[in-house]
Structure 1
């Protein structure tokens, strides 16, 4: 796309009014394409990439440093949530993270006929299979649980965020996570169910994943978290945590682990039985019932000063604070002042054309910043632009 701009700017052949108008029209069209607002049939994604984006899958490439990079690029119409996401293996040998985005997940009387949107980040350990299962199944389970809710028991007043409405969502999320945990513990790393699998029994006992999920409605943000991935809201320049990491040395989690007969051993950080660096997760059959899958759920009413929502795995949060991540994302999302000189700048326009939206640029910059700070883990980031959603 940069070459296209260069050719247009260097075209010194015919300066007739017709040619000038044509060049201007083409520049406007290219800018519109770069910002994700084009309604023309030109599409930067291949048909394969479209299918992968629709299924929440990732595309692979290789960075200049020789590292395998897994990226998820999402371009959403203005009427729907505007978001960007990126998932990279980074300095880790294996890619165990997974990202899932489902637009217009569910729409019924329970949601007052308004669509809700699903965003999830899953950080696997002991293999990638549990995170992959969460990517494929978590949104389906939530949709099924929502469909089972008796809408007559949720009054019209509570539909806007009352006690009944919150209790309904708590039940939906807890049951979905419980069912997801059952699926994960009954599935081997080879992909087979336990009664069809010929692998060693320990293959099914190993492996788990964090799960931080945000359900976005026009009025609220519902976050369910299990593990040490995190959701943060930027509101009026302040970082507001929407989840709290489940670390074994967290006072309430430490008490729960010890009450269940488990131990927290400090071995390269606090670990359950000296093994797992988080106190809650999907899967991890061999650490039940000490490690549980029950999520903590928060409800946040959306406000006009909300700027963006960030969901990310601990590969980002280990090296970036919530405040810094929100500052970087908001700077990317903020509209810039028009340049003093007329005409597009080749370098700026070329760089902007690499990303279909500002939110995608924010996700990419956060990822590169974490890599630059020597993050040793997989890094997965979703940035939702709440101003344009």
Structure 2
């Protein structure tokens, strides 16, 4: 995989807020020879359900699929019949739907404009040449994005619920009371359930020194779920859920409670350089200095690109909750059941003792 000797450290940063939350996102090309990450944040995706949307798409083999998904996935999700009453089902079916959309010739024209590899360059030339043929001439063959794809990790905030859908190895982490809670799985080929599916589909999971001692499918791709990558989704007789690579996301939900502080949504270029706890501690340290979320995102990129493992494209998104439910009330203080006026501990002292205990 091509790499630059000096990183491209220019950052693309944006931020926004509404009544419930604020966010910022920053992205950097780094040492890679092009930028294949994409992202999308929509604070008010749907007014009826008060839903916010955030997504990080980590491309490979070129930027075409990640850019396409960043432009279209949230709109497809919003249009899905289950979106209002069953967001989990809507997310699962929308991820699968994106693969089907990218197989259409309408999508092909857009994907080849994003380019990024020889396949799209050749298809673009073929489209151009076909314009000068007779109208009944055969159109250039198209099989979808066969040699490139992207991971997708998206978050819906709806009411007091966090809904995370993930296909790939980008990751979402919640900071709750200063402790990290992973809300997604890094889907690598050697994850036990993934290995079973891959091998059942006739492929193998390999680890070789020549390929960095990283678990891969037939010494190729190093993830087990993605959008695109049609060359790993063409086993005849198998459903999209049974293919060596599937677009089906894992979906997890978590409540926003009084101790929920913020979410970190990032591609593996960040998680290669920081553990979940290190990332949470990093954000907390900067929040204590009262700087903006945009500043913190850029500080994370600066930190990661300076580490030995910081060789990838990098995208990080922070989502901070403005309003969280209050903590549950303390149980009421119940005086002793003796009913006598000469109780050793008067009610006032009992209440003070309970309050003291709650602060320890």
The answer to whether TM tops 0.5 is yes
Deviations 1:71-103 (A, max 9, x none): 1222335x2521111000011111000010011
Match of residue 60 from structure 1: none
Are 2:61 and 2:149, in contact at CA under 8 Å, matched by a contact in 1? yes
**What is the Cα-based RMSD across aligned positions, in Å?**
2.4
Q: Secondary structure at the match of 2:319?
A: strand
With over 3 angstroms needed to count, the CA separation of the structure-2 counterparts of 1:377 and 1:106, relative to structure 1, is same
Do residues 121 (structure 1) and 66 (structure 2) align? no
Do residues 133 (structure 1) and 68 (structure 2) align? yes
Match of residue 355 from structure 1: none
Do residues 279 (structure 1) and 224 (structure 2) align? yes
Do residues 261 (structure 1) and 196 (structure 2) align? no
Shift of 1:263: 1.0
Question: After the TM superposition, which segments of 4 or more aligned residues of structure 1 sit over 6 Å from their partners?
Answer: 192-196
The structure with the greater share of residues assigned to strand is 2
d(CA) in 2 for partners of 1:204, 1:335: 45
Match of residue 5 from structure 1: none
Correspondent of 2:98 among 180, 199, 218: 180
Shift of 1:149: 3.3
The aligned runs of 1:311-330 (5 Å cut-off) are 311-330=265-284
Structure whose alpha-carbon radius of gyration is higher? 2
Deviations 1:89-134 (A, max 9, x none): 01111100001001110133xx3xxx11000000000010000001
Gaps of 5+ in 1: 1-64, 155-167, 337-351, 353-357
Match of residue 149 from structure 1: 82
d(CA) in 2 for partners of 1:75, 1:221: 18
The aligned runs of 1:36-115 (5 Å cut-off) are 67=8, 69-77=10-18, 79-108=19-48, 111=49, 115=50
Match of residue 215 from structure 1: 156
Are 2:145 and 2:228, in contact at CA under 8 Å, matched by a contact in 1? no
TM-score normalised over the length of structure 2: 0.73
Correspondent of 1:291 among 238, 245, 261: 245
d(CA) in 2 for partners of 1:75, 1:121: 16
Correspondent of 1:371 among 299, 302, 305: 305
Deviations 1:229-278 (A, max 9, x none): 00000000100000010000111111111111111111321111211010
Deviations 1:47-70 (A, max 9, x none): xxxxxxxxxxxxxxxxxx672524
Total equivalences in the alignment: 282
The structure with the greater share of residues assigned to helix is 1
TM-score normalised over the length of structure 1: 0.68
Are 2:39 and 2:70, in contact at CA under 8 Å, matched by a contact in 1? yes
d(CA) in 2 for partners of 1:256, 1:202: 23
Deviations 1:308-355 (A, max 9, x none): 10000000001110110011112222365xxxxxxxxxxxxxxx6xxx
Shift of 1:202: 7.7
Shift of 1:185: 4.0
